[in-house]
């Protein structure tokens, strides 16, 4: 890959990076402006389907919750570490 192609790919990646930020803003605005009261039947149908098709749970989640609380209670835990505990994906 030559220098021109690398530069073009870099610009392409940067455009998508900035587009991703803008798309997230649009999604947030659409969710905030959605008329939930007028569409409650649709929402109810979606939630019912999700409950009927969800995989069975193997636990209540309390053990995992306590593990997160213990991580957050450790002395000397930085704010950045706390945020990573809060926003990490469930296992």
Q: Is 71 exposed, middle or buried (0-12, 13-18, 19+ CB in 10 A)?
A: middle
Same domain, 46 and 4: yes
Counted domains in the chain: 2
Task: Read off the pLDDT of residues 31-77 as tens digits, 9 standing for 90 and up.
Answer: 999 999 999 999 999 999 999 999 988 888 899 889 888 888 888 77
Same domain, 48 and 67: no
Triad 66, 81, 32: Cα angle to 5°: 80
Task: Read off the pLDDT of residues 1-17 as tens digits, 9 standing for 90 and up.
Answer: 899 999 999 999 999 99
Task: Read off the pLDDT of residues 74-89 as tens digits, 9 standing for 90 and up.
Answer: 887 777 777 777 776 5
Q: Which of 90, 42, 47 has the alpha carbon at shortest distance from 65?
A: 90
Same domain, 75 and 88: yes
């Amino acid at each position: 890959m030559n220098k021109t192609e690398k530069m073009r790919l870099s610009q392409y990646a940067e455009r998508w990076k900035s587009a991703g930020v803008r798309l997230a803003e649009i999604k947030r605005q659409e969710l905030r402006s959605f008329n939930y009261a007028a569409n409650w039947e649709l929402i109810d149908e979606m939630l019912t389907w999700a409950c009927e098709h969800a995989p069975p749970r193997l636990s209540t989640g309390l053990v995992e919750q306590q593990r997160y609380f213990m991580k957050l209670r450790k002395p000397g835990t930085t704010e950045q570490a706390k945020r990573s505990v809060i926003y990490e994906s469930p296992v």
